[in-house]
Structure 1
Amino acid sequence: MPTFRAALAALALSIPLALPAMAQEGGTTEDTQRALAAGWKATFTCSGLFVAGQTQQELDQNELSGIYPDYARYFDQLPPARIDQSRKTVSVDYSPLMPPRLAAYRPGFGCTQLPVGATEKALDFLPRFAAWPEYTTQDRGSAIGSNVKVELRLEEAERLEMPVTAAFDEMTYGAGTRTSSVIVVRDGQVVAERYARGVEHETPQRTWSVGKSLTATIIGAARRQGLIDIDYPAVIAAWNKGADPRREITIRNLLHMASGLDSGENGSRTDRLYFGGGRVVDQAATSILEVEPGSRFKYANNDTVIAMRALREAMADDTRFHRFPYEAVLHKIGAVRTTMEIDWNGDFISSSQVWATGRDLARIGQLYLQDGMWAGERLLPEGWVEFVRTPAPAQPADAASRGGYGAQFWLMNNVPGVPEGTFYAAGNRGQYIVILPALRTVVVRQGYDTIGGARFDIERFVLDVTRALQAADADRGLAAEDLRRAAEAENAAAATRRPR
């Protein structure tokens, strides 16, 4: 049997030298960079318009500003996007020698970007839902559901007013940060909720890497149904050949960001997939091993999308696979305004290309607070919540200062004053779901922070929310004590008035 290192070396020699360029963050030439910039503009215009329902002014302000500087410099050179309302397509010209970049909306799938060089003829080959899984099941959940009896909780509302308001002032938690929504849910009740102008509770926004945590949730649901074993090697056809050492990579490795694959210098930049119309399956096929699986943490979009690809290959039924996230998780918890977008080959780009409302994100967090249960039904296997929030064997180099990593969730165990066991989902431009089991609370923050600019200080915000909730508990306790004493006094007074 060949050794791991020998097999790794053999694989490296067997892959054409031109392929590693596919794993680079962006383009290697001006033409490619311009094509990717046009792809960004086409994709975000399409999703912002047809998924989120934004106006052109909102698109310009939210989706087409504050972007990666290496693409922003091309935006002034690009013409306005051409929008075809009847076909629900968006095209952006970028070169006289090439067709425009194209993105197309399809119900259930959101917007899909065609590869560089593709023409409108390719639209006919995009995946479609034969029958979109309509939301027909009444939300029976005991948390933030349409049928939940809302209890007015003045103590929380009053104490949370200050930090929630400050989150929108573009200064307190980061100079220049732009908050679009904040929701605080406690005991299944929305106790604080606020939106920026132009944003409502039904407005979906791109989750960016919060989608990774949703991916872990979907994988958990698949495990619950016996569709996948996270300790078995991932089912990836491109790896299942000969002595390919990648066939030893497990779903657990992928969820822990410990696949060992080469994901470029910056694993969070898979621009050829996100903006170049690349395919998830190509990301899997062309990524070679750098280290033994499980031995190193490296934050990588590829690990997430490959985990979802493994679920697709394990299910071997595309119709069922495409419906699964909605029928097994999202629609079960009432998250009916969440859209998971796909590449043109039908794979979910779930590491980032997910659009969801703040309330839908809160529902995902609440599912974890309830140990994977919803309306009396177990959606996630027993122990799954503990799995995603337990530090992975291989940790980030800055784990001591940042708090560490579990399974597609970050850990907030490094902030004095924040309860132990707090964990969270985090995405680019300031997207967060923070789960505080000790306080029975979920905190959601969405934003349009400038990429490369000031970061929203989520740790400080959560600390302020924690203190506010603890103060509310104290207020409630004092109020209850006052009521008890008043009742005792009234009873004593009544006793003296009774005839003897």
Structure 2
Amino acid sequence: MAIRSRRKTIFRVLSVLLLLALVGGTVYAWRAFPIISGYFAKNMASAVFLQHRDPAAIEREDLSGFPFSMASYTVDLRDSSVSASVWGFARHKAIYRKGLGCTLLNDLPESAVRAQRFMLPSAPPRADSLPWPLGERVADSIPTAVNAQRLQAAIDGALSATSSEGKPALTRAFLVLYDGQIVGERYAEGVTKEQVQIGWSMSKSLTGALIGVLVKGGRLRLDAPAPVPEWKGTDKEKITLRHLLQQSTGLDFEEDYSKPCEVTNMLFRSDDMAAFTARRPLREAPGSRFYYSSGNSNILSRIIRHTVGEQDYAAFPYRALFHRIGMYSALLEPDASGTYIGSSYSYATPRDFARFGLLYANNGRWNGEQLLPDDWVAASIQPGPADPNKRYGCQFWLNGTKEDKPGERHFPDAPPDLFYAKGFGGQGLYVILSRKVIVVRMGQHPIDENTFLKNVLAAFPKNGP
């Protein structure tokens, strides 16, 4: 009798555990599968239609890790789209539109999104015969102050570097500028200098610069309440444009790509990413705490849209900034509502990302014209008061300001004045004013940034040319 009773107890316990596992699995699938299929469809589509890569190579290099390996997909060249699902569930579709890149569909009908009209300016023809940076012609020799052997070794090391897991990091491009000139440039096999690369969160720095253009024109004020319609008459009306730029809005927003949360739901389950973020409640008082949030950058992007107006918005980033500094390859992808995804989805060639870095190295001035406010770069690379580590400015990361304590800097072997735009997977634009050096690294997985910066800087004199 006792044995039979124990068997019943064990059976009941196992039944409860099985039920809990089924419930937990169902909840996980309901929350995670749409994010997995959305990520897969969107990134496969952009890699196929913007980078013109082979789908099998994209799957192998970019999307083979768990949990994305659970997804299946179809590339439809007839309507320029990619559809993906997880075991037949949570089907997602991303569509390509010329000049706009790829957009992930959620609740809005595909017909409504395809019917949107964007007035985009044509990029001027690239002046290959003009010297860099106004054109593409690069000098045959490099300055004698540069140690060519050390620089080559640093670039070779970056191209062959492995990730923290010991796997190939797939560095696709590595570019080095010294005193404004290209002195080192390498691309992985099969990658050309004309192929655009995804910037991921480097896009935030582009968005910050576009805000700067509007501040210079007197159309926005940094310390005025951010013009967000949902916040009018609420406690969130205390959030300023500066709070958004410095990532100190106080909004309840979790930035963790390892699980379903606000950032993944925003990027892969939302048609209007700025509205999604604007609806989040306050977690603490604006300006009181630094918390890095892609949602803040998408609110900034929609502020740009509302400020310049619907008729001019689509063309504004290109006419006001990109084409004026020769970033003719640059492209911003919109969400389904038509707002550029200012947090994550920019594409450009490594040379064009380097041009953007050069704009900031030149204090916002390009070819004799001041495009950003005179004090914009200085303000952008000053740490926000809510950041205790002093490593974030206005949509740019900072190395820290400890001249005599390199161990407290993010990159101990790089100068304290280094500032950088950083993207998922180790995309990076690094500007080192004191050494007149700019580095661009594009790839699929992060590598040891401190090491490659140390090795690059070893090739240059410490006191400029």
How many Å apart are 1:63 and its aligned residue?
2.9
Are residues 1:159 and 2:145 paired?
Answer: no
- 5 Å-filtered alignment, 1:84-483, equals 84-94=76-86, 100-115=91-106, 120-125=110-115, 127-129=116-118, 131-136=119-124, 143-146=132-135, 150=139, 152-153=141-142, 155=144, 156=146, 157-171=148-162, 175-176=166-167, 177-240=169-232, 242=233, 244-264=234-254, 266=256, 270-315=263-308, 317-396=309-388, 399=389, 404-413=391-400, 414=409, 415-449=411-445, 455-470=446-461
Conservation of the 8 A alpha-carbon contact between 2:246 and 2:290: yes
Aligned residue pairs total 424
The CA distance in 2 between the partners of 1:266 and 1:123, in whole Å, is 28
Normalising by the residue count of structure 1, what TM-score does the alignment of the two structures yield? 0.79
How far apart are the structure 2 equivalents of 1:291 and 1:361?
35
The amino acid that maps onto 1:410 is: W
Q: Which runs of 5+ in 2 are unaligned?
A: 1-25, 401-408
Amino acid at match of 1:223: V
The offset of 1:122, in angstroms, is 4.2
Q: Which amino acid aligns with 1:246?
A: K
Question: How much has 1:168 moved relative to structure 2?
Answer: 1.7
Cα shift at 1:361: 1.0
Measure how far apart 1:95 and its partner are. 6.9
| Alpha-carbon distance in structure 2 between the residues aligned to 1:269 and 1:197 | 37
Partners of 1:421 and 1:390 in 2: how far apart? Answer: 10
Equivalence for 2:38: 39
Query: 1:418-457: CA deviations, max 9, x gaps?
Result: 23311111111101100011122210111101xxxxx422
Whichever residue aligns with residue 288 of structure 1, its letter is P
What secondary structure is seen at the aligned counterpart in 1 of 2:391? coil
- Is the contact made by 2:329 and 2:348 (CA closer than 8 Å) also made in structure 1? yes
Q: List alignment gaps of at least 5 residues for structure 1.
A: 1-26, 450-454, 477-500
Question: How many Å separate the matches in 2 of 1:237 and 1:246?
Answer: 10
Equivalent position SS for 1:270: helix
Separation (CA, whole Å) in 2 of partners of 1:417 and 1:89: 45
Deviation track 1:141-187 (CA, whole Å, cap 9, x = no partner) reads: 97423265625116433330111101122249984333111100112
Check conservation: 1:173, 1:461, Cα contact below 8 A. Answer: no
What CA distance in whole angstroms lies between the structure 2 residues aligned with 1:58 and 1:203? 15
CA deviation digits over 1:313-346, x for unaligned, max 9?
222x123112111111111111111211111101
Cα distance in 2 between the residues matched to 1:59 and 1:147: 29
Q: Secondary structure at the match of 1:102?
A: strand
Q: Is this contact kept in 2: 1:89–1:102, CA < 8 A?
A: yes
Q: Which amino acid aligns with 1:135?
A: A
Displacement, 1:62? Answer: 3.3
Structure-2 separation of matches of 1:142 and 1:188: 11
User: Is the CA contact (8 Å cut-off) linking 1:51 and 1:110 kept in structure 2?
Assistant: yes
Work out the CA distance in 2 between the residues paired with 1:389 and 1:119.
Answer: 42
Work out the CA distance in 1 between the residues paired with 2:195 and 2:255. 34
What is the CA-CA distance between 1:404 and the residue it aligns to? 1.2
> Which residue pairs with 1:488 in the alignment?
none
Q: Residues 410 and 423 of structure 1 are in contact (CA less than 8 Å); yes or no, is this contact kept in structure 2?
A: yes
Aligned pair in 2 of structure 1 residues 224, 265: CA closer, same or farther (>3 Å)? closer
Partner SS state of residue 468, structure 1: coil
Deviation at 1:40, TM superposition (A): 1.3
RMSD of aligned alpha carbons? 2.6
Which whole-Å deviations, capped at 9, do the CAs of 1:268-318 have from their partners, x for residues lacking one? 961122222431233234211111111100011111111111222222x12
Using the size of structure 2 for normalisation, the TM-score is 0.84
The verdict on how the C-alpha distance between 1:142 and 1:28 changes in structure 2, with shifts beyond 3 A counting, is farther
* Alpha-carbon contact 1:166-1:173 (below 8 Å) kept: no
**Alpha-carbon separation, structure 1, partners of 2:43 and 2:201:** 16
What secondary structure sits across from 1:222 in the alignment? helix
CA distance in 1, matches of 2:374, 2:177: 23
Q: 1:134 to 1:253 in 2, by over 3 A?
A: same
Identity %: 31
Answer with 50-59 or 185-194: which moved more.
50-59
Kept in 2, the 8 Å contact 1:173–1:458? The answer is no
In structure 2, the residue corresponding to 1:182 is in which secondary structure? strand
Q: Structure 2 counterpart of 1:42, which letter?
A: A
Q: Is this contact kept in 2: 1:103–1:113, CA < 8 A?
A: yes
